[in-house]
Structure 1
Amino acid sequence: MQIGANSLLQEMQSLSGEIKPSGFNSGFSSPITQQVSNTSGSDFGQLLSQAIGTVGELQANSGSLASRLDMGDTRVTLSDTVIAREKASVAFEATVQVRNKLVEAYKEIMSMPV
């Protein structure tokens, strides 16, 4: 089954509006979606680097919220921490899947006869 990039992006954008909890203000404004929609003049390496940087930021934010919650910071709620952790987890899993597809494509290209 082939999934088009545009239909996948539209579905992700529609779902991102549904999962934003009210009152959650961690500074996350869906940078991955912004990067994907602004791909007109960017090369693949830059996009991949930015996406990996965004995943790192999500993981750092998740770790920071978890540490603050463990330390007893009253400004951080359990739900904010769990949501940040899940966002980081989903972003990491997506990155792993992209890496797997790239490795698979590379192996396929390398096994082609010249």
Structure 2
Amino acid sequence: MTRAAGQDESLLDYALREIKTRIQNGTYPPGTKLSTQEISDSLGISRTPVVAAINRLVAQGVAEAIPRRGTIVARLNGRQIKDMIDVRRMIEEFAIPLAIKNIDFYPSI
């Protein structure tokens, strides 16, 4: 899959989105090594934005950098999954009253 020309999305954002999607849909299951060359070839972009995207995934805890082995998709334990669900629930519970309040301003959405 290659990137469509003329998109407003940066190559870094594109790479980050695509890698996350592949992790979420199981293309890259937990424990899979993330090869910058393979990913850049499949996305049709250079390795630089792919390396930056993988570094962001490491910072977010989605991937794990292992010295002298490379970067792999992180394995999540039960506590991490529970924490993510709790954060999402808090965000959604905060957003619901704001959405209800603004429905009069944006009725066609």
TM over 0.5: no
TM normalised by structure 2 equals 0.29
Q: Give the structure with the higher percent helix.
A: 1
Q: Where is the strand percentage greater, Structure 1 or Structure 2?
A: 2
After TM superposition, the score normalised by the length of structure 1 is 0.28
Q: Could you say which structure has the greater relative contact order, defined with CA pairs below 8 angstroms and 6 or more residues apart?
A: 2
